């Protein structure tokens, strides 16, 4: 087989795998892991019911892939914030807050909410990989929160502050809608700004 043909086949398989992960994320978020079948996922991408097993050995492996993809994207977006030169701790924090809201709520961002809802559905043998990725994500936040604490911009213990801040933002996955029925919508920029203001402490002049 020619090299170009092998590349096309591999690329096609990678694309189908990506399609399955995205469809699984959307369905797991909507219906829960237990409420979603492999047939549901296959149907969402136009496959026969057994075809996903060519790419994944089980539904649990699909769940692992969904969580890994969410954390991969999260790490990319947070690194982009902290790698931007010239940002002070306060501005870096504000941008991390906005990035995290985007990871939870922007179009196609079903991956991290699935991790929040269905963590207990992930078998123990798969959890180590997710914990490792999550620890790397948390470490990026912790560095910025440590800097804020050193500047007197956070009154709480820095470790506790990270848990509280990320916990509060993550909980928005259960209630946030950009335009709630019968109410004026709040966009993510405004929500991020208000969240940052809630946690940041003013430094006396």
Question: Rounded to whole angstroms, what are the CA distances from 92 to 66, 120, 141, 145?
Answer: 27, 32, 10, 10
Q: Is residue 32 part of a domain?
A: no
SS (H, E, C) 4-62: HHHHHHHHHHHHHHHHHHHHHHHHHHHHCCCCCCHHHHHHHCCCCCCHHHHCCCCHHHH
Question: What pLDDT is attached to residue 9?
Answer: 36
- CATH of residue 184's domain is 1.10.357.10
Whether the pLDDT of residue 190 is over 70: the answer is: yes
Q: Is residue 96 part of a domain?
A: yes
Helix (H/G/I), strand (E/B), else coil: 147: helix
The pLDDT tens digits for 71-84 are: 999 999 999 999 99
As for how many domains the chain has, the answer is 1
The pLDDT tens digits for 93-130 are: 999 999 999 999 987 789 999 999 999 999 998 999 99
Tell me which residue range forms the domain holding 98: 57-199
- The highest-confidence range among 28-42, 44-58, 164-178, by mean pLDDT, is 28-42
Q: Is residue 40 part of a domain?
A: no
Q: Is residue 39 part of a domain?
A: no
Question: What pLDDT is attached to residue 189?
Answer: 94
Write b or e for each residue in 115-135: b if 16 or more Cβ atoms lie within 10 A of its Cβ, otherwise e: beebeeebeeebeeebeebbe
- The end-to-end CA distance of the chain, in Å, is 72
Question: What pLDDT is attached to residue 186?
Answer: 81
What's the pTM? 0.84
Q: Is residue 26 part of a domain?
A: no
Whether the pLDDT of residue 202 is over 50: the answer is: yes
Q: What average pLDDT does the chain have?
A: 87
- pLDDT, average across residues 161-185: 80
Question: What pLDDT is attached to residue 184?
Answer: 59
Q: Is residue 66 part of a domain?
A: yes
- pLDDT, average across residues 129-153: 95
Alpha carbons 192 and 202: distance in angstroms, whole number: 17
Q: Is residue 36 part of a domain?
A: no
Q: Is residue 52 part of a domain?
A: no
The pLDDT tens digits for 5-19 are: 433 434 556 688 889
């Amino acid at each position: 087989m020619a090299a170009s043909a092998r590349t096309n086949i591999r690329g096609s398989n990678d694309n189908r795998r990506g399609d399955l992960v995205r469809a699984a994320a959307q369905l797991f978020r909507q219906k829960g892991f237990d409420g979603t079948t492999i047939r549901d996922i296959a149907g969402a991408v136009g496959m026969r019911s057994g075809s996903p097993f060519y790419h994944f050995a089980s539904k649990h492996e699909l769940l692992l892939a969904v969580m890994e993809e969410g954390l991969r994207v999260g790490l990319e977006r947070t690194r982009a914030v902290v790698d931007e030169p010239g940002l002070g701790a306060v501005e870096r924090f504000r941008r991390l807050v906005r990035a995290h809201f985007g990871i939870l709520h922007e179009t196609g961002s079903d991956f991290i909410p699935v991790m929040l809802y269905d963590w207990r559905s992930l078998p123990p043998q798969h959890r180590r990989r997710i914990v490792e990725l999550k620890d790397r994500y948390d470490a990026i936040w912790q560095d910025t929160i440590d800097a804020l604490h050193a500047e007197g911009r956070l009154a709480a213990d820095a470790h506790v502050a990270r848990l509280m801040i990320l916990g509060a933002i993550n909980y928005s996955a259960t209630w946030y809608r950009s335009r709630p029925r019968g109410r004026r919508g709040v966009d993510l920029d405004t929500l991020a700004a208000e969240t940052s203001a809630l946690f940041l402490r003013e430094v006396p002049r």
